[in-house]
Amino acid sequence: MSTFDRRYEQISRSELEQMQLERLQALLARLRRNVRRYREKLGDFRLQSLADLPRLPFTTQEDMVESFPYGMFAFPLREVIRLHSTLGPGGKPLVIGHTRNDLALWSRLVARQLSASGVTANDVILISLGGLTQSGAVGYVRGAELIEASVIAEDPLHIDYQLAMLQNYRPTTLITTPTNALDLIRAIEQRRVDPQSLYLRTVLLSRPVDRETREQIASGLFAAVRCNFGLGEILDPGLCVECEVGLFHIHEDQFLAEVCEGELVITTLAREAMPLLRYRTRVAAELCHDQCACGRTGVLFQPGPRLDHRHQVREISFYETQVAEVLAQTRAAGLRFHLTPSERQLQIALEISEDYFASAMWPADDPKRSIEAELLARLGLPAEVRYVEPRAGSGPAA
Amino acid sequence: MLLQVRNLSCGYGSLEVVHGASLHVCHGEIVGLLGANGAGKSSLLKAIIGLLPPWAGEVFIDRRPTTGQPPWRSVSNSTVLVPEGKMIFADMTVRENLIIGGYHNPDRIRHLETVLDGFPRLRERLQQVAGTLSGGEQQMLALGRALMARPRLLLLDEPSMGLAPLMVKEVFTSIRKMKDLGLTVLLIEQNANAALRIADRAYVMETGEIVLEGPAADLAHNPEVKRAYLGKG
């Protein structure tokens, strides 16, 4: 294991605080000059020390929605060479822009994670994140190229093809989602492949998992398991690094982290195209300034659950309102529903009364299948619809 | 950190020209401070060294607070300013100029040889009256005179000003050599191209505020820097 950017990953607290103060002051000056929304919010406030941070205004997802698409950009669009989209509140899209320097920085931050995971120039990396998390894959490719590891430039969606690639290309590192890793283990078991016959040394998961899942993946793929945590609006991957001890360190030379009312709040200190000041991430978190045995000095961070109605099924993120919108355009319109997201499927309980099928040609006209097909087609969500008796008082109506 | 500046403000009369600037320079670094004419770069430098009384803020050199101390004390703190426009003593010889630079250094005669090794052109003109040197040579003399004080931190104010392009190259090569000798340099420049080529990190100042900080290589690709200072884009 190694530290890619020792100068910044092990920076002393006093130097870090000086750097953060300088970067934050410069950021405020840039925001006042280049972003109208911040100019109005900031007025002529001058920050004297990091202790003044709570006096600065927050940025919310609603600010980003109102400024959609390019209103938060600090540079004209012609200077922005990469656009990414991420899921905003209620399923509305948010646009994230990057300049050339932003992308170079992204590479360095991802390289820090890869190095901490033990990936070196001698490794071959297979990235299987699925088409829906393509922007993450781009980040991993950039980081891997920076440390000169070999990247297999294919993202096989089919599990058998993935297994074949693991056997044929002999990758030593697999970057994937927890769901896909578990699918792969199932396929390995079904096809009676010995996981030790693969060449994997490291599996880097796109999001944190509980200890049990981590151990299951480690033994199922016979490799060390590392996790990542990212946020599409900030960087995913690239916000933090999971060290050898298994703790997340935020890249504090680039991001100023706070926890306000239990919510993670991030300020991007050096991002050029779209800096965010005190961005409320809608993710619960705890920060801890204890010294870590790995030697990194970035603040320790424990992510918690989301604080909004955003769920995830098979790595597909969605909001309850998106499901409600789809249901409203099916024969479930007007019915009360309850969502139970699980790892593999979204369970939807529709409250119906006995006369619901009175006018229908039961069972040939059962709307369940069409509702499931609609959710799969429009949101990519595998769902299972059940009918339940009306419950007293709960559940929104489609 | 050899130099640490926090929220430094200064000005002239009732006019504030630097509005709470913060910067730092680590041991052995060359740090550029870029900006257009009138951005407040030289005023910031003068306030750091005590030539201009700071209105607010703090300066630490090697962790010791030096805010507002008289400029002569900076030399004892191993911090030397090479001012804009060279400010050599035009009526004195090159040798006399250099010896004056090492005034507080009892070992100055021996140290003169070391300095001259770095500036062979000055050695050839030791007895020449400084005012008769070319612009580039005068700048070399100003640098050499500063080195005579055995500084650890060198503050350079526009060393390339008024020099022919070839001379600029030579002066910047000398600055680069100073880093190799273990010196730490804070370099004010309008010639962003040249400064970013030798600096490790840089700050960009506009109308009294620092608006950008980062590794020099990154700043060279920053769209704003390219447009405003590098004449590209």
Q: Are residues A111 and A214 in the same domain?
A: yes
Q: Give the pLDDT mean for B77-101.
A: 91
Q: Are residues A110 and A221 in the same domain?
A: yes
Distance CA B182, CA B114 (A): 14
The residues facing A317 across adjacent strands are A312
The domain spanning residue A30 has which CATH number?
Answer: 3.40.50.12780
B105-135 pLDDT, tens per residue? 888 888 899 899 888 889 999 999 999 999 8
Does residue A210 fall inside a structural domain? yes
Report pTM.
0.92
Q: Give the pLDDT mean for A2-31.
A: 95
- The minimal CB distance from B214 to the residues A18, A29, A270 is found for A270
A223-261 pLDDT, tens per residue? 999 999 999 999 999 999 999 999 999 999 999 999 999
The pLDDT assigned to B74 comes to 83
Question: What proportion of chain A, given as a percentage, has pLDDT over 70?
Answer: 95
**Strand ranges of the sheet holding A337-341, from the earlier edge strand across to the other edge:** A337-341, A346-351, A383-388
- DSSP assignment of A51-119: GGGGGSPPB-HHHHHHTTTTTT-SS-GGG--EEEEEE-GGG-EEEEEE-HHHHHHHHHHHHHHHHHTT-
Q: Are residues B194 and B210 in the same domain?
A: yes
Q: Are residues A303 and A317 in the same domain?
A: no
Q: Are residues B10 and B24 in the same domain?
A: yes
Question: What proportion of chain B, given as a percentage, has pLDDT over 90?
Answer: 68
Q: Are residues A94 and A240 in the same domain?
A: yes
Q: Is the bond preceding A237 in cis, omega lying within 30 degrees of 0?
A: yes
Subunit contact A18:B6, Cβ cutoff 8 A: yes
The domain spanning residue A320 has which CATH number?
Answer: 3.30.300.30
Does residue A397 fall inside a structural domain? no
Q: Are residues A93 and A235 in the same domain?
A: yes
Q: Are residues B114 and B164 in the same domain?
A: no
Q: Are residues B159 and B231 in the same domain?
A: yes
A31-86 pLDDT, tens per residue? 999 999 999 999 989 999 999 999 999 999 999 999 999 999 999 999 999 999 99
Does residue A393 fall inside a structural domain? no
Please answer whether residues A381 and A313 qualify as being in contact, where contact means their C-beta atoms are separated by less than 8 angstroms: yes
- DSSP assignment of B142-191: HHHHHHTT--SEEEEE-TTTT--HHHHHHHHHHHHHHHHTT-EEEEEES-
Query: What is the dihedral sign for C-alpha A356, A359, A361, A367?
Result: negative
Does residue A276 fall inside a structural domain? yes
Q: B101 in helix, strand or coil?
A: helix
Tell which residue, A263, A287, A271, has the closest CA to residue A235. A271
**Strand ranges of the sheet holding A263-268, from the earlier edge strand across to the other edge:** A240-242, A248-250, A300-306, A279-288, A263-268, A255-260
B192 touches chain A (CB under 8 A): no
Of B150, B169, B190, the last residue of a domain is B150
Is residue A362 over pLDDT 70? no
The pLDDT assigned to B199 comes to 96
Q: B90 in helix, strand or coil?
A: coil
The pLDDT assigned to A133 comes to 58
Q: Are residues B26 and B64 in the same domain?
A: yes
Q: Are residues A253 and A352 in the same domain?
A: no
How many CB atoms within 10 Å of residue A158? 9
Torsion of CA A279, A283, A287, A293, to 10 degrees: -110
Q: Are residues A297 and A322 in the same domain?
A: no
Residue A363 is part of which domain span?
313-388
Does residue A224 fall inside a structural domain? yes
The pLDDT assigned to B7 comes to 96
Residue B111 is part of which domain span?
87-150
Q: Are residues B97 and B136 in the same domain?
A: yes
Q: Are residues B11 and B56 in the same domain?
A: yes
The pLDDT assigned to A132 comes to 52
Q: Are residues B191 and B179 in the same domain?
A: yes
User: With bands split at pLDDT 50, 70 and 90, how would you rate the model's confidence at B233?
Assistant: low
Q: Give the pLDDT mean for B160-182.
A: 87
Of B150, B173, B203, the last residue of a domain is B150
State how many domains chain B has. 2
For residue B143, what are its two tokens? 């640098």
Q: Give the pLDDT mean for A353-377.
A: 76
Only one residue has tokens 């990235």, namely A127
A84-98 pLDDT, tens per residue? 999 999 889 999 999
Distance CA A325, CA A320 (A): 9
Q: Are residues A224 and A234 in the same domain?
A: no
Q: Are residues A50 and A135 in the same domain?
A: no
The pLDDT assigned to A23 comes to 97
The pLDDT assigned to A63 comes to 95
Q: Are residues A121 and A224 in the same domain?
A: yes
B206 touches chain A (CB under 8 A): yes
The pLDDT assigned to A352 comes to 84
User: With bands split at pLDDT 50, 70 and 90, how would you rate the model's confidence at A393?
Assistant: low
- The minimal CB distance from A48 to the residues B7, B24, B213 is found for B7
Q: Which tops the pLDDT comparison, A299 or B190?
A: A299
Please answer whether residues A346 and A324 qualify as being in contact, where contact means their C-beta atoms are separated by less than 8 angstroms: no
Predicted-assembly ipTM surpassing the 0.95 threshold: no
Contacts of A18 in chain B (CB under 8 A): 1, 4, 6, 22, 24
Query: Do the bridges between strand A248-250 and strand A240-242 make them parallel or antiparallel, or are there none, so unpaired?
Result: antiparallel
**In which element (H, E) is residue B96 found?**
helix B94-101
Q: Are residues A194 and A122 in the same domain?
A: yes
Contacts of A48 in chain B (CB under 8 A): 7, 20
The pLDDT assigned to A360 comes to 59
Please answer whether residues B54 and B19 qualify as being in contact, where contact means their C-beta atoms are separated by less than 8 angstroms: no
Of B135, B150, B165, the last residue of a domain is B150
Does residue A377 fall inside a structural domain? yes
User: With bands split at pLDDT 50, 70 and 90, how would you rate the model's confidence at A361?
Assistant: low
Query: Do the bridges between strand B56-61 and strand B3-12 make them parallel or antiparallel, or are there none, so unpaired?
Result: antiparallel
A145-201 pLDDT, tens per residue? 999 999 998 888 789 999 999 999 999 999 999 999 999 999 999 999 999 999 999
Please answer whether residues A120 and A90 qualify as being in contact, where contact means their C-beta atoms are separated by less than 8 angstroms: no
State how many domains chain A has. 3
Subunit contact B222:A33, Cβ cutoff 8 A: no
Is residue A365 over pLDDT 90? no
The domain spanning residue B20 has which CATH number?
Answer: 3.40.50.300
- The minimal CB distance from B4 to the residues A18, A26, A30 is found for A18
Q: Are residues A336 and A370 in the same domain?
A: yes
